[in-house]
Structure 1
Amino acid sequence: MTIPEPAPEPHLPKLLDGRLKIRHLVLIDALSRQGSVIGAAAELHVTQPVATRSLRDIENVLGVELYTRGPRGIVPTIFGEAFTEHARAVLAQLNQAGRHVVELTNADRGTVVVGTHLAGSNVLLPQAIARIKSDHPLLTVIVREGAPSTLLTELEAGRVDMIVGRLTAPSTPAITRIPLYEESVEVFAGAGHPLATTPHLELADVGDHQWILPGVETSLRGELEKIFTRCGIPLPAQRVEATSYLTVRELLRETQMLAVLPSLIGRSDAHLTPLAVDLSAINHSVGLTVAADRPFSPSARALTASLRRVADEELR
């Protein structure tokens, strides 16, 4: 009986032999976000041939194809998705290392970068920043607004330290989500809207009005679509899609449109009024989204503590 030869050991790419550069990791991050070599090259201020050559160099080092090319750009392969995740983790650690060195010189002069979307941006985050600035006046807080998916990419790459906003998914091995308080949503209109004094409204009563709906990339949009379907009415045909609170606010003030907003945001604005439409089925946690395996800098720890205090003392 012939004994089969053992399978050869898989060839491991040598990533520490000097061929792989930090600029290669930066390129992979940009390619996966931009979805095209042209877009990544423009972002990194290099020519397209330079970006293409660098990508080819990375693929040669790894021995696999990271992206498939098509008429509309590039799409990560399973290898590309995996390597992008690792590249962002390395970049995040390097970003944090540089900032940590600065903060060790003077912790009160550190910087914390926080991403935010609608929920939490009106009360929780501003109050937490006000508190931390009173204790650490020279600490810099940078706030970046964006769609949840965009901010999550920024978090993975270490360009933001944490995200403050609605928690729409459970924690994962890579991402930790920390609830701080529960918040409801309501239908809002501008003050003086004809329906403002109506004591009880069904969703069907307002379905044919002009609406401002959150973007399709948000989980709130999906929940609203489910509620409309459950009530047996179509999604409003007369609609605007917007996620910017300033845009939504001005449209509500200047028109008779309707919009769904977190209660804390809508009720704190004297120019808006809640309508008596029952949306109690939509309730969510607001809190922090952070990288599970990345320790906080002193500045990030200070802001986290401030956010917790505000949530405990003001919002629960």
Structure 2
Amino acid sequence: MDLTTVRWFLAVAEHGHVTRAAAELRVSQPGLSRAVARLERELGYPLLDREGRGVVLSHYGEIFAERARRLVAEEEAARRALARAADPERGEVSLAFLHTQGPSFVPDLIRRFRADHPDVTFRLSQDRAERVEAAVREGRADLAITSPRPDESSTGAEAGSTSLAWRPLVTERLSAAVPVGHRLAGRSRLRLDELAGEPFVAFRRGAGLRTIGDALLDGAGIRPEIAFEGEESGTVRGLVAAGLGVAIVAPPGDPAEARGVRHVPLTDPGAQRVIGLIWVPARTAPPVVEGFRRFVLARADRLPGPAN
């Protein structure tokens, strides 16, 4: 059963006459009659009854016509949805990003994009790096802004259709967050080894800053005592301000997060994080998603954020 034949049947039902329906559809009357007869044979029930020179729906025809109209309406709705999805000025972009990009980085990108594309909507999700990456791989997000760069072994061609493309956007210098009254709070910069022996407030494992921080501490020969593991930067900074320990953090996106905390830039090589955009290049992206991806990449050098 094809939708063309279903539409032809509905036209005959509406007109109550095969010849008039054929004229509207611009098909031959014998061809239309044969198509309706084939449909009746396929379904196994008579759909039309003769009445004078015209036809009327049989009991079975009335039941089928009701559902056939829904079927045609759904098909037309699907076509409209596809047309909207192909419109670069409309549609939805699913974007995942780290908690630390929530206060200003991502909102600024969206604000700038929507200034020229006001009908585009966004479905947003925040999480730690490993979950943000998984959202893109599994198709739950079109794009993601994350750090650090996903493992090289998973971004090559050998990884298959879910291999990720990566483009750096912004490089941030990392800092040591210390309480206002801390012995190092007055410093303009410091080395990680000067934090040896301090308790640390860390991000949970799987967070991008935890991965970077662990590598930096290991390189400095520091085996930190972890006083607390937090999910979000605001929580980590808040506990630093409360005196529970020190932390390795990125620049605060919200000035309110710096209350009670001093951010002292780290001078160690590699004490930085690169924020980048990831996507699955083998996956077909709607024009609206491709438009936002190009917008972000074209502005990579002008995006806000401290450079290395």
Q: Choose 1 or 2 for highest CA Rg.
A: 2
Distance across 1 between alignment mates of 2:250 and 2:183: 21
Query: SS at the partner of 1:263?
Result: coil
Deviations 1:66-117 (CA, angstroms, capped at 9, x unpaired): xxxxxxxxxxxxxxxxxxxxxxxxxxxxxxx999716347543311111111
Higher deviation after alignment, 260-269 or 124-133: 260-269
Deviation at 1:276, TM superposition (A): 5.0
Q: Counterpart of 1:255?
A: 243
Q: Counterpart of 2:199?
A: 210
Q: Counterpart of 1:48?
A: none
Q: Counterpart of 2:294?
A: 305
Output aligned runs, 1:138-157, within 5 Å.
Answer: 138-157=119-138
Please, which of 271, 287, 291 is the counterpart of residue 276 of structure 2?
A: 287
Tell me whether 1:179 sits opposite 2:168 in the alignment: yes
Higher deviation after alignment, 203-212 or 154-163: 203-212
Q: Retained in 1: the 8 A contact 2:90–2:121?
A: yes
Deviation at 1:295, TM superposition (A): 2.8
Deviation at 1:288, TM superposition (A): 0.9
TM-score w.r.t. structure 1 length?
Answer: 0.58
Tell me how large the CA RMSD over aligned residues is.
3.2
Distance across 2 between alignment mates of 1:127 and 1:283: 22
Q: Retained in 1: the 8 A contact 2:133–2:150?
A: no
Query: SS at the partner of 2:156?
Result: coil
Q: Retained in 2: the 8 A contact 1:108–1:138?
A: yes
Please, which of 227, 231, 234 is the counterpart of residue 246 of structure 1?
A: 234
Query: SS at the partner of 2:303?
Result: helix
Distance across 2 between alignment mates of 1:309 and 1:138: 21
Number of residue pairs the alignment of both structures matches: 219
AA in 2 matched with 1:307: V
Change (3 A) 1:138 1:251: farther
Distance across 2 between alignment mates of 1:273 and 1:296: 43
Change (3 A) 1:153 1:209: same
Output aligned runs, 1:1-316, within 5 Å.
Answer: 101=82, 103-104=84-85, 107-118=88-99, 120-166=101-147, 167-170=149-152, 171-173=155-157, 174-191=163-180, 193-199=182-188, 201-218=190-207, 220-235=209-224, 237-255=225-243, 257-263=245-251, 265=253, 270-271=258-259, 272-315=261-304
Q: Retained in 1: the 8 A contact 2:98–2:127?
A: yes
Deviation at 1:186, TM superposition (A): 1.5
Distance across 2 between alignment mates of 1:155 and 1:266: 27
Unaligned runs of 5+ in 2: 1-77, 158-162
Unaligned runs of 5+ in 1: 1-96
Q: Retained in 1: the 8 A contact 2:234–2:257?
A: no
Q: Retained in 2: the 8 A contact 1:123–1:264?
A: no
Deviation at 1:129, TM superposition (A): 0.5
Q: Retained in 2: the 8 A contact 1:125–1:307?
A: no
Distance across 2 between alignment mates of 1:283 and 1:260: 10
Change (3 A) 1:233 1:292: same
Q: Retained in 2: the 8 A contact 1:212–1:248?
A: yes
Distance across 2 between alignment mates of 1:164 and 1:253: 28
Q: Retained in 2: the 8 A contact 1:117–1:165?
A: yes
Distance across 1 between alignment mates of 2:86 and 2:220: 59
Deviation at 1:190, TM superposition (A): 4.4
Q: Retained in 1: the 8 A contact 2:212–2:273?
A: no
Distance across 2 between alignment mates of 1:302 and 1:115: 16
Identity of aligned residues (%): 19
Q: Retained in 2: the 8 A contact 1:267–1:273?
A: no
Deviation at 1:125, TM superposition (A): 1.8
Deviations 1:191-215 (CA, angstroms, capped at 9, x unpaired): 5544211355443432333321122
